[in-house]
Structure 1
Amino acid sequence: MKAARLIAGVAMLAVVVGGGVASATRGTPKPSERFVTDDQGRTLILRGFNASSSAKGTPDAMPELTEADVAKEYQDMGTNFVRFLIQWRAVEPQPGVYDTKYLDKVAERVQWYAKRGYHVMLDMHQDLWGNSITPTGQAGNGAPAWATHLDGLPVKTDHFTWEMYYLEPGVIRAFDHFWNTTGDHPELLDHYAKAWQQVAARFKDDPAVIGYDLMNEPWGGSVQGAQFESGPLAELYRRCIKQIRAVDEDSWIFVEPQAVGVNWGLQSALPAFDDPRGGQPRIGFAPHVYPLPLDLGDDYTAGSREWTDRTLGWWRDNILRTAERLRAPILLGEFGMDMTRPGATDLLNRIQDMNDQMGVSGFSYWSRDPGPWGPYDKGKATPLVAAFDRPYPRAIGGRPKKISYDARTHALTVVFEANETGPTEIYLPKSTFPKGGKLTEELGETTWDATTRILTVKAPQRNTITLTVVPR
């Protein structure tokens, strides 16, 4: 959610404060020790964008994106990850009928990223259920028309912010039918899960596709909170996991909590999910973060910085606790801000640093679209590009213990327990590492690729390795 006027007000603030206080009294949890890994067993640190919001409104559900855009993104920021939006309406335009041509278009764009070494997470995106909630399709995306049952209930369209549609009776009823709260359409959950099976069957052998994000920002209709997350939402995830694993045993599967509240720092009630694949489970946790003060219209400046930092602290602690309960690595699926607003760059750096401190496996910024929220506006770089373009370890030959970046000295430090996997790869920006980088202590064989700006380190096999890279 990009603005939280959905349930804003004194009552919601009281709930958030209460959740934060309860969280604070339990002590600060330890950083995550679970990570997304590649086929070599290396820890991946994923950094990139959602691609993209423009896909919500196009007839073919394709983002307004070219291969040249992908190439420029890597050249300017060294990203290695994309959360690529797909939609149920495009996968299954009619009940039981799957559009292979749509999946071919998705595959074509996946290859744009694959050529540049990216990892792709396919995100089944929805907002406000689907575009059939109104006759003109002016709001909503995700679900197909045939799965939209409003029962004649109204959906007003004169809202000052799009999230208010979630409170419309017709939208609530559409979700209630999907979650089988009404008992009238029990088939919808299975249709959704089988649509995921079709996607997984198409991409299971594509090495660029690292996994699947099962549903964007789930909304429970008339069922909310713990009752929703532990009930119908958990049931949907179990069905999707079963269908995906029937055709794809290797890809990661990511689950999201309820967006309202959890995005702001409240606790999640998602249960742990079993992974029927052979070997170690590959179930990840993909929450979003949109600090409540900023969602209510504040900037990250003196007046609201302390309040924002406090809510970020609650979010950090509650996300770490949920991930531990799920026994899952954390991948931040969305965060974003208007980069023209005061304090936006400071907040972006704050969240990037927080991710490193939490042991998050990576993040995708919302979104790749042009404009003040994105990296480019009218063909020119926004402040997001410079703030985003910082050194990071793309792949680590072991289990990370600490990742930290000193913006003053441009020193990147990576501490990890080495194992018998592939080499460590570190991206070094041209802006701060114009001649490449060097290790403060020689540790094994190093190679530098000035074209990709990747420093590769084959570290010795010993218990703990500390790599500190500084500009050459």
Structure 2
Amino acid sequence: MQTRLAVAALAVLSAIALLSTACVASGAPPAVGNPGDSSELLWLKAVRGQQAGIYDSAGRQVLLRGTNFNHLGDYFSTDPSLPTVATLDETDWADAAAQGMNVVRLVTTWSAWEPVRDQIDLNYLARVRAAVAAANAHGIYVVIDMHQDAWSKFVFTPAEETCPAGTSHQIGWDGAPAWATMTDGYPTCTPGGRENSPAVRAAWENFYKNAGGVRDELAQLWGFIATEFAEDAGVAGFDLLNEPGYGFDQSITLVGLAQFYAAAIAEIRAAELEVNSAGGSALGHVVFFEPTVNGPFVATEFSADPNLVFAPHNYGESIVGNGVAGFLDLLAGALQTLTKAYGTTSWIGEYGIFTSDQAQATAYMSRFNRIDDRNPGAGGTWWQWEQQCGDPHNANGAYPPSAEWLASQQQNCTEAPRMNTACTARSYPRAMPGRLTSVVAEPCGGAVTVTGRTSRPSTAVLWFHSDSAVAPTVTGIGLGGSNAVQSRGGWRVTVEVSSDYKINLA
């Protein structure tokens, strides 16, 4: 997550400027119905083309806003005394709901799903199922994410090894199982960031070449997951591969990644069809796809599947282009251009800032939120809810660890190592009948104004972040009755709307 090169990002922006809109047939959102003030998690569908967005089965455009939960990730252990993830429990879900979140991007790991080739760990499946059920019980959708960083926890430099001048020890991260990790004897010591280790790049090169069928194996794993969750409306969709890395050859990387995406989508759709042929009711989950970790992206015509969402990460002026004034705005605009080229909506799978300076964090996140509201796409999830003391993100600069560092780091191990990122509790529209046309909100909670257009009368759902015991005031145009229900952290507000409408909550 935290290794980027601004120069690579700028190269990507130049490439995006040459794009034209993808030739994707415009899809149609579901017909507008009226579920009233029901809090049921309805089935979600992505639409491509002129009305690109994510919609629920009542024909309401949906924003999915929340955070990343990495509690089920399978990470490299720097030292047995340092846990790599926190325990996921009821408090996490309740606190996330109190911040108004309606989605969690759930980090899962290939090495945990399939530690032995062709053998799925059913205990891990049960843990994922339990997490989905707990989220749904709090009104939170789940995006199941196949996470990786620097390929795998099995690619690392042994602590006792001496790295050549100009290189340093590579810490292990997360991702592929050992059996799928083929580094061809390349050295692990890295001349730069974690993605630059020759061993990491060799592993990616072999994946993109489908050496030993490993690329097909991961696609088939997605078929299994799709089967298991085929009828779960509370699963918003599947994020195929977090921040795909790059091999030695960019052409091999981008072609191989596109082939993986196409194969994984085919496996998912085949699994859904098989469930339906057996009498099930799989309506088809949204599939989220990403560009590579350093920016280059698959061809815009890689898939004609109608149920896709582009899910880039935006760390402008946080990790990428830090100190470059206006880079956040520039990157956000470039990602919107690329989104249009794919003919999809966008969903920002990761964003955030990493600083102990709360004033700086608040200023950055306020600015990010305002930019995001101007082009909200389908929402996004910030990185990340909790980060345990042994997480490789914490140990990266200290590997191999000294006794002094370990003693100091052990003091940071807690039961709930919250990141406490500023301005993550926001007022926003959750489900807007027909088409959402604008959002203007206070960046750290409070007043929000939305506009939309619907062909039939229906009910809008919004979250109003407030600790006040007084319900928000509802005003606007094209409105009928409204209802506000308080819970910890804010108010769930439902408003009857028709035709062209405007809702003000204050």
Bucket of the pairwise TM-score, normalised by the shorter protein = 0.7 to 0.9
CA shift for structure 1 position 406? 4.0
- Equivalent residue for 1:301? none
Alignment of 1:395 with 2:418, yes or no, is no
- Equivalent residue for 2:177? 144
Q: Contact 1:130–1:142 at 8 Å: present in 2 too?
A: yes
Match of 2:111 among 78, 89, 93: 89
Aligned partner of residue 445 in structure 1, secondary structure: strand
1:102-157 C-alpha deviation (Å, 9 max, x unpaired)? 11110001111100111110000011111111376951211010011122222127
Aligned partner of residue 493 in structure 2, secondary structure: strand
- Normalising by structure 2, we get a TM-score of 0.76
1:260-282 C-alpha deviation (Å, 9 max, x unpaired)? 136xxxxx453234355xxxx21
> What is the rounded CA distance, in whole Å, between the counterparts of 1:308 and 1:3 in structure 2?
19
CA shift for structure 1 position 247? 1.6
Alignment of 1:220 with 2:246, yes or no, is yes
- Equivalent residue for 1:257? 291
- Equivalent residue for 2:201? 172
Alignment of 1:288 with 2:313, yes or no, is yes
- Equivalent residue for 1:194? 220
Instruction: Identify if the C-alpha distance between structure 1 residues 407 and 103 changes in structure 2 by more than 3 Å, giving closer, same or farther.
Output: closer
Match of 2:333 among 311, 314, 317: 317
- Equivalent residue for 1:245? 269
Match of 1:458 among 474, 477, 496: 496
> What is the rounded CA distance, in whole Å, between the counterparts of 1:336 and 1:23 in structure 2?
23
Instruction: Identify if the C-alpha distance between structure 1 residues 409 and 79 changes in structure 2 by more than 3 Å, giving closer, same or farther.
Output: closer
Q: Contact 2:106–2:143 at 8 Å: present in 1 too?
A: yes
Aligned partner of residue 175 in structure 1, secondary structure: helix
Instruction: Identify if the C-alpha distance between structure 1 residues 117 and 389 changes in structure 2 by more than 3 Å, giving closer, same or farther.
Output: same
Using the aligned pairs only, state the percent identity.
26
Q: Contact 2:90–2:134 at 8 Å: present in 1 too?
A: yes
Aligned partner of residue 364 in structure 1, secondary structure: strand
CA shift for structure 1 position 257? 0.6
Q: Contact 1:334–1:363 at 8 Å: present in 2 too?
A: yes
Instruction: Identify if the C-alpha distance between structure 1 residues 17 and 382 changes in structure 2 by more than 3 Å, giving closer, same or farther.
Output: closer
Match of 1:234 among 258, 269, 272: 258
- Equivalent residue for 2:474? 439
> What is the rounded CA distance, in whole Å, between the counterparts of 2:266 and 2:418 in structure 1?
43
> What is the rounded CA distance, in whole Å, between the counterparts of 2:267 and 2:16 in structure 1?
36
> What is the rounded CA distance, in whole Å, between the counterparts of 1:429 and 1:210 in structure 2?
23
Count of residue pairs the alignment pairs up? 427
1:432-457 C-alpha deviation (Å, 9 max, x unpaired)? x5412122237112111112620111
- Equivalent residue for 2:374? 357
Instruction: Identify if the C-alpha distance between structure 1 residues 288 and 19 changes in structure 2 by more than 3 Å, giving closer, same or farther.
Output: closer
> What is the rounded CA distance, in whole Å, between the counterparts of 2:310 and 2:476 in structure 1?
35
Instruction: Identify if the C-alpha distance between structure 1 residues 434 and 378 changes in structure 2 by more than 3 Å, giving closer, same or farther.
Output: farther
Aligned partner of residue 299 in structure 2, secondary structure: coil
What is the aligned-residue RMSD (CA, Å)? 3.3
> What is the rounded CA distance, in whole Å, between the counterparts of 2:259 and 2:65 in structure 1?
30
> What is the rounded CA distance, in whole Å, between the counterparts of 1:332 and 1:166 in structure 2?
21
- Equivalent residue for 1:49? 67
Map 1:120-131 to 2 at 5 A.
120-131=142-153
Q: Contact 1:85–1:123 at 8 Å: present in 2 too?
A: yes
> What is the rounded CA distance, in whole Å, between the counterparts of 1:92 and 1:34 in structure 2?
35
> What is the rounded CA distance, in whole Å, between the counterparts of 1:127 and 1:145 in structure 2?
14
- Equivalent residue for 2:2? 2
Map 1:106-117 to 2 at 5 A.
106-117=128-139
CA shift for structure 1 position 358? 1.3
- Give unpaired runs (5+ residues) of structure 1: 263-267, 299-303
> What is the rounded CA distance, in whole Å, between the counterparts of 2:444 and 2:293 in structure 1?
35
Amino acid at match of 1:68: T
- Equivalent residue for 2:300? 271
- Equivalent residue for 1:265? none
> What is the rounded CA distance, in whole Å, between the counterparts of 1:409 and 1:201 in structure 2?
39
- Once the two structures are overlaid, the 10-residue window that deviates more, 187-196 or 132-141, is 132-141
CA shift for structure 1 position 336? 1.5
> What is the rounded CA distance, in whole Å, between the counterparts of 1:446 and 1:229 in structure 2?
52
- Normalising by structure 1, we get a TM-score of 0.81
Map 1:376-455 to 2 at 5 A.
384=421, 387-406=423-442, 410-420=446-456, 423-431=459-467, 433-441=468-476, 443-451=479-487, 453-455=491-493
Compare relative contact order (CA 8 Å, sep 6+) and give the higher one, 1 or 2. Answer: 2
1:280-306 C-alpha deviation (Å, 9 max, x unpaired)? x21000000112x432695xxxxx3xx
- Equivalent residue for 1:101? 123
- Give unpaired runs (5+ residues) of structure 2: 21-48, 78-82, 159-169, 273-282, 395-412
CA shift for structure 1 position 379? 6.0
CA shift for structure 1 position 313? 2.5
